[in-house]
Amino acid sequence: MKQFDVPNIYRSNLISAVKNKRRLQDKLKKDFTPTLLDFGPLQINLARHFGFCYGVENAIEIAFRTIDENEGKRIFLLSEMIHNPQVNADLQARGVRFLQDTYGKQVIDFEELTADDIVIIPAFGTTLEIEKLLNSKGIHTEKYNTTCPFVEKVWNRSEQVAQKGYSIVVHGKPKHEETRATFSHASSHTPTVVVNDMAETVELAKYITGEKAPEQFYTEFKGRYSQGFDVAQHLQRIGVVNQTTQLATDTQAIAEYLKDVIKQHYGLTEASIQSRFADTRDTLCYATNDNQSAVTGMLDIPADLAIIVGGYNSSNTSHLVELCEQKLPSHFINSADKILSPNSIMHCNWRTKEETITNSFLPNKRPVNILITSGASCPDAIVEEVIRKLVSFFDTTATVDEMEAVFG
């Protein structure tokens, strides 16, 4: 896989050594067991896959190169580059300004832009409408477009499905940048609707079977269907694509549910289902799959708690927390500073995004076994800082630097 030029401040010698060793041992990525860092009284099990993915490293490389090559020019980011506070703060410290917040609310008016300005498209991509607006001002977005190739893959697959006469159901969070972008691209080719979860999918299915009156659809899914969507016609032939950072199992379950509903409603067989339901399984992101599979493998290890590191508005990180908390006490933090002491940790509720403090989060036993992973937009350097903070609370049999030598 391509190697990217990412600033060293985001790298970790320890994590790089661990990942390199695992990569050599498991070239086909079949082993999802975690890596044990044995510090004696502290046992840390690192997930097999975590941290920066291809799309994130690509975006960071383009952004920092753009800054270096355009001294004196005004540089804007359409919205957050990725959902990581440290990376976004570093870009702002270099003079980059955000045009919108993560929900699409305007921070700087587009009217202030000129053809001499540079606008970087974030890894989530953007809508066709915004792209057209920027291009109309003489701003060439294609040169500074950091859209993840796997997001673009979903767009391309949507177009292919549309050309065969299917409508699109997007599984995604309606307000998320990537979902807004995918909806824009899909709906430019075919009728499109967004569902957030299985509960909404069950309700959508009732319009396929006729259990619900068509007119109810336009209220229930207001703001989430494309212009001219005819619920009586456009749900007869569908394909499901996803926001790439959703839980892969959730997208698969939604697709299977809708497939079964259509099969039963129209009396179709497995051999004839493609007449009304498109196979779109190839839109799932490899990094999302790997990180979620690695968490599943990590959770097979007996442990006292899990720590998940990443930006609080990161969708893919939130889903890792969701998986972990089903099995054991789990703490979602965005930096080592959130570990306040050996007795208390400030962590985020992935649903409400509210921070709370938990006391006595480390059990009074030895050894303490902690599972650690991070989201696809979290620098490895931050994970190492978390490990160092935890190690500082114990009379360990090895230092972090000595542990690096073990894997180096």
**Annotated active-site positions, please?**
178
Sorted by sequence, the CB contacts under 8 Å of residue 1 that are 6+ apart come out as: 54
In DSSP terms, 345 is beta-bridged to 339, 358
Q: Please give the structure tokens belonging to residue 14.
A: 């320890």
Q: Please give the structure tokens belonging to residue 297.
A: 């493998």
In sign, the C-alpha dihedral spanning 184, 189, 190, 195 is negative
Beta strand residue intervals within 92-246, DSSP E: 97-98, 118-120, 167-171, 192-195, 238-242
CB 407 within 8 A of CB 25: no
Determine the residue type at 181.
A
Q: Which of 40, 43, 49 is nearest to 18 (CA)?
A: 49
Query: What is the maximum span of the chain, computed from C-alpha positions, in angstroms?
Result: 67
Determine the residue type at 136.
S
Q: Is 388 exposed, middle or buried (0-12, 13-18, 19+ CB in 10 A)?
A: middle
